[in-house]
Every structure is written in C-alpha cells, then in structure tokens.
Structure 1
Amino acid sequence: MQFRGASSDSAAVLGDQLAEQVRGEPGRAATMAGDLVTVAATLRSEGSLRRFLTDGSLPTEARTGLASEVFGGSVDAQSLELVTAGAARRWTSAGDLPAAFEHLAVVAAVRSAGDESERLADELFAVRQAVKQQHELRDALSDPVRDVAAKEGLVRDVLGSRFLDATVRLVVQAVTSTYRTVTAALEEYQKVAARVHGERVATVRVAKALTDDEARRLEQALQRQYDRPVHLNQVVDPGVIGGVRVEIGDDVIDGTVSSRLADARRRLAGTAG
C-alpha cells in the first residue's frame, strides 16, 4: 500500500512500532491483527471520528484522548498504544489513517505465523489460484447480497484446519478489504509477507512443475540477480509448451517456447509483408 507525504512517514513509524511490539510474540501479533481490522473498519464507517483523529489543527492530546476513549474498551493494550500513536501522527488525508491500520493488520497477521512464513506465502498463493480458477467460489465471495458473516463462514469452511490460522485470518480480511477483488487483496498480502521477511516474490510459469533441484537453482539465480531472497510461486500452464516465464515485480523474463514461436511468427509475417 502506497502513501504520500506525511502519511508515508507516519505509516513507516507505526510499522516500526508494530514490529517492536510483536517481535518474537506471534500470539500478540495475532491479537493485534484482529484488533487493527476492527479499528480500520470503525474509522471507515465513522467519518466524523476519522476526520477528528486526523485533524492536524486540533491538539494532539485531544486526538489521542478520543482514540483512547473510543477504542480503549474494545482492543488490547498494545493495540490501543498503536492506535493512539496513529492519532498523534500527521496524515495527508483522513482516509490514510484507516488504510494504514488495514495494512498494519496484514503485517501483524504475517508476523503471527512466526517461523511458518514460507508456508504462509505458499498458502496465500494457493488460495488465490483457487479463487481465480473456481468461479463458484469467486462469485460467492464477491456476491454483494451475501453478508460478511456468511462470507467469513464460507472461508472457514473451505479452508478448515488444513491451513495456518494466519492464512485463514488474511483470507477473511481479504473478503472485507478495500481492494477491488479478493484475489487482488491476496496478491498484495503475499507481497507484504515477502517484504516483512526481506524477500521478493517471483511467479514462475512452466509447462510442467519444476523438480526440487530445478526450483532451487532458479531461486538461487534470481537471488543473485536481485540481491535478496526470492520466494517462488509456480504456475503450471501447458500453454507455455516448454521453458519458463518469470514475473518478479515489474520485470518479466520470458524464455518459453511459446514466446519464441510467437516471435518467429512475427518475423515471418514481417518478411512476407
């Protein structure tokens, strides 16, 4: 999530504070993740409260005092500390405050996975692919008639106990997020998970799944090129015929047979013309 001006600085400060609060404490991170989702939703629905807490012309004590009064009885002490810190900061627009807390909820959920960060990233990708490919599931999660509780229940029924609590938490959050679609939210959440652990995410399209050795060698090559750890997401797509296509950030490395055939066809067409 991108912020501008004062909001960028404020979001960064709150992110550092959250990291210190939950360091080595996955249980606390899980609690704060739930609290921050609630805080973000409340601020989005209560315009007067949102505007008051981000009004730089008001005394800091007034803003933090109201934040404590409103949220003090409903969130954990550590969460309240972060909320009041947010109320004390400067924000470019009122909408940036709930957006920051929504983002921090994702970060907290990622940190709640503890040492299972690789599994979390894989599960988020798997769920995103399932939602993209299964039309009935995608339609059910995006149905405006179905209430939020029903959608959350559907997520929990589908994922069950096979997935990490952090994964379930993030998929539930994706259903109610401000992103355009659930799949867009999950894609961003996986990027957040990678950034939290200092990684880049690479989507690899192949005709058939890479062997463990092939995946390891590709991962090492990308790590050397980008000078940081890289998490691979494999998408098996028979349409590539052979070779591999790597998408990492805005970069695309296309070494697929289908791409070379397409280039050959274009050259032949140009020669014929």
Structure 2
Amino acid sequence: MSGASREALAAARESLTALTDNTSVDAKVLADELSAVTALLDREVSLRRVLTDPAQDGEAKAQLVARVLGEQVGGATVDLVSGMVRSRWSAPRHFVDAVEELADSAELVAAERDGSLEDVEDELFRFSRTVSSAPELRAALAGSSAGAQAKTQLVHSLLGGRAKPATERLVTRLVTHPRGRSLEGGLDALSKLAAERRDRSVAIVTSAVPLSDGQKQRLGDVLARLYGRRMHLNLDVDPEVLGGIAVRIGDEVINGSIAERLGEAQRRIAR
C-alpha cells in the first residue's frame, strides 16, 4: 500500500482495537459482518469506487455506508466502516483489503478472548504445511472447479473437530473468497496476523530433526535478543537440511544448515 492507504489502514486498525477493547462487542459477529462487507465490496465495483473517491465528501460517504449497510449489519460494523471511508485511500482495492484484514483480526480477537489464539496460530501454520505437501488437496481448495459449498465441506472434513472453530472459519473464508491470493500466501498472511495479535514476530524454523523444548527455548531467546521482540517459532522438519537449522523471519533468512554450507562450498569450487 502507498502512503495514504497505509495511514488509513493504521487508523482502521486503531479503531478496531478501540472497538474490541469493549468486551460487550461480539468479535465473532463483527468478523462475520466485516467478511460480508468485503464480499459486497468485491461484487459492487461502483460502490467501492464511490466510497474511496477522494473528490467525495467524507461525511457523505459515511452516510452512504449507513444507508447501504444499516439494515444488513450491526451498528459496530457500520461505525467501523464509516470511519474507514472518511480516510483517504490510494486505491479502492486497498480499502477492500483493509476491511478483509479487519474481519480476520476480529476473528483472532474472538480466539484471544476464548484462550485459543495460540492454538489457532499453530494450526494455521500446520495446515499451510499440509497443503504445501499435498498437491491434490491444494488443487481442490484453490482451484476454480469446485464451488464455495464444496470447498466449505472439504475444509470442515479436514478441520472440523480437529482444529479450533476460529481456524476453520478463517481457512473457509480464505478458500471460498481468495480474492486473487494464492492459498499459501493467504495462510501465511493469516499466520502473521495471528502472531502480531500476540505481539510477536514469526520465525519459521526448519531443522533436520525435531528440536527439544530446551533448544526451542534457547533459540527463541536468541532471536528475541537479536530482533528486540518476542518470537513465535513455527517449526518444520526437513531431513534434506542434513543438520543445523534454517530460520526465516519475513524476507530474511538465517541459514546454518549443513546442506547450505555444502552448497556454498560447491559453488566456490565451481568458480
């Protein structure tokens, strides 16, 4: 997002936090309603253009939101979206992306309230790894041949009773309304959003064998000191690393695996 949209998104996040700090607000209902608003804005191109038109008065746009959404969603959702349209957005797409992010964040707030946020974060990561290693499953969830109902049923068969309800809802929304994203990219974004909700960064750690609890604790402590913030470790096992570990934090990779060192030696020999 460009500068204007980044500022608008930051303001929207603050508004959501202020709203959900009030425990009388049902975060799950808010998530469902914001998801419905996202779907509406995706369908109605002219509506999202009007709501993000910088030439239109902000208060007039807020009133339009109240007229369009007032009978479909609750007052909290109307107030939140009305505040968003008063901000300046660089592109209509950014506005819709922001509404979707707030829907996912509200779902994570609900998980935090019922004590399942950490489990949701871990389940999203594990599901992402499952999808990556199963091409047929990925095709069924991400392909265009199956409709939304079939994908919803497939997600339920995979996660229903095996994962937290919030995890199932988040994955279902992603596969039924991908909005141009890859399945892996969408799952990664959800994992990062969950980590941010817990005020921690995500470090994806790949090792040849599972790490012990002591090793995980020490690695987490080292990374926290290096980056100045807590780290959540998403652990993956890959025998091909041959030993050591590889750590990815965002776009940065810290690779201490034997395979990487052997590869570097081979590259030097080949020069």
Question: What are the superposed Cα offsets for residues 32-60 of structure 1, whole Å, 9 maximum, x if unpaired?
Answer: 11111111111111011112212222233
Residues paired across the two proteins, number: 268
- Pairing 1:12-31 to 2, within 5 Å after superposition: 12-23=10-21, 25=23, 28-31=26-29
| Structure 2 residue aligned with 1:130 | 130
Q: CA deviation at 1:229?
A: 0.6
Letter in 1 for 2:197: V
Structure 1 position 227 matched with structure 2 position 228: yes
Q: CA deviation at 1:86?
A: 1.5
Partner Cα distance (2:204, 2:99) in 1 = 28
In structure 1, list runs of 5 or more residues that go unmatched: none
Assess if the C-alpha contact under 8 Å between 2:123 and 2:167 holds in 1.
yes
Partner Cα distance (1:23, 1:154) in 2 = 34
Structure 1 position 266 matched with structure 2 position 264: no
In structure 2, list runs of 5 or more residues that go unmatched: none
Assess if the C-alpha contact under 8 Å between 1:64 and 1:87 holds in 2.
yes
Partner Cα distance (1:264, 1:55) in 2 = 56
- Pairing 1:215-254 to 2, within 5 Å after superposition: 215-254=216-255
Calculate percent identity across the aligned residue pairs. 37
- Pairing 1:119-268 to 2, within 5 Å after superposition: 119-175=119-175, 176-268=177-269
Letter in 1 for 2:196: R
Letter in 2 for 1:117: L
Question: What are the superposed Cα offsets for residues 199-236 of structure 1, whole Å, 9 maximum, x if unpaired?
Answer: 11111111110011111111111011111010111111
Assess if the C-alpha contact under 8 Å between 1:6 and 1:92 holds in 2.
yes
TM-score if structure 1 supplies the norm length? 0.93
- Pairing 1:53-64 to 2, within 5 Å after superposition: 53-64=51-62
Assess if the C-alpha contact under 8 Å between 2:19 and 2:25 holds in 1.
no
Which is further off, 40-49 or 107-116? 107-116
- What is the root-mean-square deviation in Å for CA atoms of aligned residues? 1.6
Change (3 A) 1:110 1:268: same
TM-score if structure 2 supplies the norm length? 0.93
Change (3 A) 1:267 1:88: closer
Q: CA deviation at 1:179?
A: 4.3
Q: Which runs of 4+ in 1 moved over 3 A?
A: 24-27, 267-270
| Structure 2 counterpart SS, 1:113 | helix
Q: CA deviation at 1:197?
A: 2.2
Question: What are the superposed Cα offsets for residues 107-142 of structure 1, whole Å, 9 maximum, x if unpaired?
Answer: 111211113322111100011111111122111112
Partner Cα distance (2:73, 2:179) in 1 = 22
Q: CA deviation at 1:26?
A: 9.3
| Structure 1 residue aligned with 2:34 | 36
| Structure 1 counterpart SS, 2:233 | strand
Change (3 A) 1:211 1:64: same
Letter in 2 for 1:162: R
Partner Cα distance (1:169, 1:141) in 2 = 14
Partner Cα distance (1:212, 1:86) in 2 = 44
Assess if the C-alpha contact under 8 Å between 1:63 and 1:88 holds in 2.
yes
Change (3 A) 1:24 1:154: farther
| Structure 2 counterpart SS, 1:202 | strand
Partner Cα distance (1:162, 1:27) in 2 = 28
Assess if the C-alpha contact under 8 Å between 1:26 and 1:112 holds in 2.
no
Assess if the C-alpha contact under 8 Å between 1:27 and 1:112 holds in 2.
no
Assess if the C-alpha contact under 8 Å between 1:179 and 1:185 holds in 2.
no
Partner Cα distance (1:103, 1:173) in 2 = 12
Which is further off, 79-88 or 25-34? 25-34
